[in-house]
Amino acid sequence: MTGMLDFILDVYFYWVIIYFIGVNITYSILLVFSYREIATYMRRQALGDFRALLQSELTPSVSLLAPAFNEEATIVESIKSLLKLNYGKYEVVVINDGSTDKTLETMIGEFDLREVRQLYIPTLSARPVRCIYRSSSPEYGNLLIVDKENGGKADALNVGINVSSYEFFCAIDADSLLEEDALQRVVKPFLEDERVIATGGIVRIANGCEIVNGRVVSVGLSRKLLPVFQVVEYFRAFLSGRMGWQSSNALLIISGAFGMFRRRAVVEAGGYNPATVGEDMELVARLHRLHLERKIPYRIVFVPDPVCWTQAPETLNVLSAQRNRWHRGLMDVMKMHGVMLMNRRYGPVGRWAMPYFFFVELLGPVFEFFGYASILVLAIRGSLDLQMVILFFIVSLLYGVMFSVGAVLLEELSFSRYPNPKHLALLLAMGVLENFGYRQMTVWWRVRSFYDYARRKKDWGTMTRTEFAKAKSRID
């Protein structure tokens, strides 16, 4: 019996090594596709003046939807930054989702809000609306505040869609800041191709940046390690991940912090699903599925340079809750849309994207965790093969470093948002150092999410916000 257990552990361990080699190959392919897509994008940007196009009469009007729950610390500066965007006709719709702090009172006082009688048609089902406010100041004429009963982010977005006035809506987080030309860039694919139903922009970490009047005036890195690690993670997720998937129209994620949609397409799909904590990915997966089943031509696009700045968690408790929630959201998507997994009917989404997110993103942490566990068991039993352990860690390290460093270099070669050589060197170093402790923590948090999912945990966890003006603790 003892010999059989050792044999099983050995077989599993070598299988994990083979799995990670396969993951490395997959990441390499994604990196190559991402580089090709970004190079093509940069050439097109150099050849055309998108600002001239957006000054024409073709420029569509846009509704900015910002759900807010207990955002008292940042809500005023966020709204003011949204009201200063360089864009034609747009409205800012802030949905107060039953905040228990002074979010609503802060907005009423700062923007001189007055209750208005406005027809509310619940096209999408959502929790009741308590009141709708508009500012009595002409300076904030395009600002609309909706106060509603708490129902979660998806429910708040559905209310925002119900009250929105325009053909396109852009969903953002209330604690985020958009760059001045972000809307111009993210709307461009809709003007170039009528098949486009959704676009997503890149989200970057604001921690450590200097922010004045709702604008990032100087890009920097936080003095705390956790936000810097997340900068590298965001590069991987956006530049090396989403850029690669959009090349085959298989992009499954548009960040809930910054995504633009055709309102009609989302309404026809039933809006956001309040039953999942991964409402952003679930909506995109559903849009893919419905358009493929109905054989309607469509495209979902990632645009790598319209920037949204957001605050990243700075404590382990907040970060662990965030990663746990993200993984539970991924489980919901796989459960709700598992019919697409390895199904040729759904084209590249079914053949490539869904298997990747199932076997690599969803199950990858489980395989890695039990790989570590098998090492521990073999060590306790005194049957640990040191050469096997060294091989595992070499493969594991290469897997992490290659993709992380590749993502950082891709950022530097394309957009160079971190021109300070010290910052670039630190980010490259983080791509290596994250494999010694940080990555193992994130693996555990994601593995723990399976237990939480099994007991039907649905809460979001708490994200502690600080004023943007306090985000200046940085490495210069």
Is the confidence at residue 193, as pLDDT, over 90?
Answer: yes
Task: Inform me whether the pLDDT recorded for 271 exceeds 60.
Answer: yes
Other CB atoms closer than 10 Å to residue 456's CB: what's the count? 7
Residue 264 clears pLDDT 70, i.e. is over it: yes
- Across the range 359-375, mean pLDDT stands at 89
The answer, yes or no, to whether residue 251 has pLDDT greater than 80, is: yes
DSSP string, 106-171: HHHHHHTEEE-------SS--SPEEEEEEESSGGGTTEEEEEE----HHHHHHHHHHH--SSEEEE
Max Cα–Cα distance, the chain, nearest Å:
80
The least confident of 79-93, 132-146, 231-245 is 231-245
How sure is the predictor about 451, in pLDDT bands with cuts at 50, 70 and 90? very high
Instruction: List, in sequence order, every residue forming a beta bridge with 474; answer none if it has no partner.
Output: 222
CA dist 471 and 217 (Å) reads 12
Asked whether residue 270 carries a pLDDT value surpassing 60, the answer given is: yes
Residue 360, pLDDT score: 92
70: left (phi > 0), else alpha (psi -120 to 50), else beta?
A: left
**pLDDT score recorded for residue 174:** 82
pLDDT 10s digits, 57-115: 568 999 999 999 999 988 998 898 899 898 989 999 999 999 999 999 999 999 999 99
At 466 the pLDDT is 62
Instruction: Report residue 73 as tokens.
Output: 């610390």
Would you say residue 219 has pLDDT above 60?
yes
Check whether 410 has a pLDDT greater than 90. Answer: no
Task: Check whether 358 has a pLDDT greater than 90.
Answer: yes
Q: Mean pLDDT over residues 384-388, rounded?
A: 75
- Amino acid at site 71: E
pLDDT(462) > 70: no
pLDDT confidence band for 460 (50 / 70 / 90): low
Q: What percent of the chain has pLDDT over 70?
A: 92
- Evaluated on CA atoms 437, 440, 444, 449, the torsion sign reads positive
Q: What pLDDT score was predicted for residue 153?
A: 95
| pLDDT at site 331 | 97
Q: For residue 222, what pLDDT is reported?
A: 93
pLDDT score of 92: 96
More confident residue, 9 or 262: 262
Lowest mean pLDDT among 221-230, 250-259, 269-278, 464-473: 464-473
Q: For the ranges 208-217, 303-312, 315-324, 454-463, which has the lowest average pLDDT? A: 454-463
Query: Over pLDDT 90: what percentage of the chain?
Result: 56
pLDDT computed for residue 14 by the predictor: 76
pLDDT per residue as tens digits for the range 284-310: 999 999 999 999 999 999 998 878 998
Amino acid at 365: P
In terms of C-beta density within 10 A (0-12 exposed, 13-18 middle, 19 or more buried), how is residue 307 classed? buried
Task: Look at 18-22, 274-278, 412-416, 448-452 and tell me which has the smallest mean pLDDT.
Answer: 412-416
Alpha-carbon distance of 353 to 340, in angstroms, equals: 10
* Distance, CA of 127 to CA of 358 (rounded, Å): 33
* pLDDT tens by residue, 324-352: 999 999 999 999 999 999 999 999 999 99
pLDDT of the residue at 50: 55
Q: Domain locations in the chain?
A: 1-48+176-476
Query: What is the average pLDDT across 30-51?
Result: 77
pLDDT at 413 over 70: yes
Task: Please give the average per-residue pLDDT across 448-454, as a whole number.
Answer: 95
What pLDDT does residue 52 have? 55
